[in-house]
Amino acid sequence: MTELDGHRRTLRVALLGAGSVGSQVARLLLAHGADLSERSGATLELAGILVRDVNAPRDAELPRELLTTDAEALILGADIVIELMGGIEPARGYVLQALRSGADVVTGNKALLATHGAEIFEAADQVGASVSYEAAVAAAIPIIRPLRDSLAGDRIERIFGIVNGSTNFILDSMDRQGLSAEEAQRIATDLGYLEADPTLDLEGFDAAQKAAILASLAFHTQVSIDDVHREGISSVTADMIEDARRAGYVIKLLAVCERLSEPAGDAVSVRVYPALIDRDHPLASVHGGNNAVFVEAEAAGPLMFYGAGAGGVQTASAVLGDVVSAARRHIAGGVGVGESARQSLPIAPFGHITTRYQITIEVADVTGVLATVAGILSDHGVSIATALQTVEGGEDSKTARLVIGTHRATEQALSDTVARLADSAAVTRVVSVLRVEGE
């Protein structure tokens, strides 16, 4: 595998995937090969690029002679394997095969790490190889290395932010340009922001996978995708965005990872959902395909990481940073950095989480309705902070819209309240229930 190039070793790099990200990694690796080799201390040779179809139309800059469908041969001859195929299989099998043959692995595959991370890190540990995945969370933003290395001496309490570029692009385009969700999704697709299966983005799976990875690193415990409470943006309508704007908010898909003090000791809560953010909050200014992640650490205090959260060339930057660092390890020797999940913190029940809510309901515009609604909230210990009633359709209308802002309440109390409201004869329709975050 490793050869000598003059006095410098040559490391063979296998690239699995030549899509939005892989094609940019190949282009940059070839264009800046000399610089990257200088930084790595080894000559990096792109040995081959695995694709499904070598004859499919591709970017003219991609060297067609390197394309192959022979995964086995490509992986077996490699020192560093870059996995940018996406999905679980065959990516999982190829990554394990690479590690077992002693290669270092670089991947941007959050779906794989959030479901099979433990197995992959275990395989790396057994041979002392490294698994690097800076691109798996928030694309170009350096967040994995800061959590794993720079903040390793601190105690992280909370991570909070926007970790999905395509849904941020869609919500932002609906809010600022009045685009329909479909139109915004089409543009995001052209920009290479969406996963091969867009449901992963729209239904919050991609953000949940990233949240699981962040929480595992931050709290040194194992969090898998199944531990994450997940809601996507498919239920967010243009009307909800307009209502939010009138109330001084913007809707963002948020990921929240928290260390909680439960009666039995520390626990972890990881959740993804669309939420209202005050227009003055820094997250409200995260536009387009950008991401922003806030980290709150005991000693460091609050930190903010911001930048491109999706896109082929932007993500290639994170991938190549990992390639350089894997090459350095290969040259220096020694074992790769292992997984930091050494604790087994329990996952806090979702019903225990507290936040503020905005409940929008349509009610019959008759005497006593407000008292009935207030009574239902009070029965469940949900305290009203603000209430705004507007009569729809003028003086003769029989329907009013009521927007209730609550003080902090538990998810359990909130869901019980909403169920009672939905059943109440006073309420015609529950229009929306959104959490209010970032305050």
User: Using CB under 6 A, which of 86, 288, 307, 336 touches ligand NDP?
Assistant: 86
Q: Which two tokens stand for residue 211?
A: 């949240």
The correct pick among 83, 104, 134, 206 for binding ligand HSE (CB under 6 A) is: 206
Question: Does the annotation place 21 within a ligand binding site?
Answer: yes
Question: Pick from 165, 274, 307, 438: which binds ligand HSE (CB under 6 A)?
Answer: 165
Q: Which does 322 bind (CB under 5 to 8 A by kind): ligand HSE, ligand NDP, none?
A: none
Q: Quick one: what does residue 201 bind among ligand HSE, ligand NDP, none, with the CB cut-off 5 to 8 Å set by partner type?
A: ligand HSE
Does the annotation count 398 as an active-site position? no
Q: Minimal distance in Å, beta carbon 118 to ligand NDP?
A: 18
Query: From the list 88, 196, 335, 419, which residue makes contact with ligand NDP (rule: CB under 6 A)?
Result: 196
If you count them, how many residues does the chain have?
439
- CA within 13 Å, CB half, 317: 13
Least Å distance, CB 136 to ligand HSE, is 7
Stretch that binds ligand NDP, among 82-90, 177-185, 346-354, 407-415 (CB under 6 A): 82-90
* Residue appearing with tokens 């005991």: 298
Give the closest residue to 111 by CA, choosing from 77, 135, 78, 140: 135
Within residues 291-310, the interface with ligand HSE by CB under 6 A covers 309-310
411 is in an annotated binding site: no
Is 415 labelled a binding residue? no
* Six-digit token string for 101: 């043959």
Question: Among 13-21, 37-45, 253-261, 350-358, which window interacts with ligand NDP (CB under 6 A)?
Answer: 13-21
Whole-number Å distance between alpha carbons of 409 and 354: 5
Under the binding rule (CB under 6 A), the answer on residue 18 touching ligand NDP is yes
Nearer to ligand NDP, 167 or 315 (CB): 315
Cα(33)–Cα(36) distance, rounded to whole angstroms?
Answer: 5
| Pick from 127, 123, 120: nearest CA to 213 | 120
Asked if 161 interacts with ligand HSE (CB under 6 A), we say no
Tell whether residue 75 is a contact of ligand NDP (CB under 6 A).
no
The residue (of 78 and 200) whose beta carbon lies closer to ligand HSE is 200
Residue 166 touches ligand HSE, criterion: CB under 6 A: yes
Contact code string over 281-310 relative to ligand NDP, x by CB under 6 A: -----------------------------x
> What residue ranges bind ligand NDP (CB under 6 A)?
17-22, 50-53, 56, 84-86, 90, 108-110, 135, 139, 192-193, 195-196, 310-312, 315
Catalytic residue numbers read 210
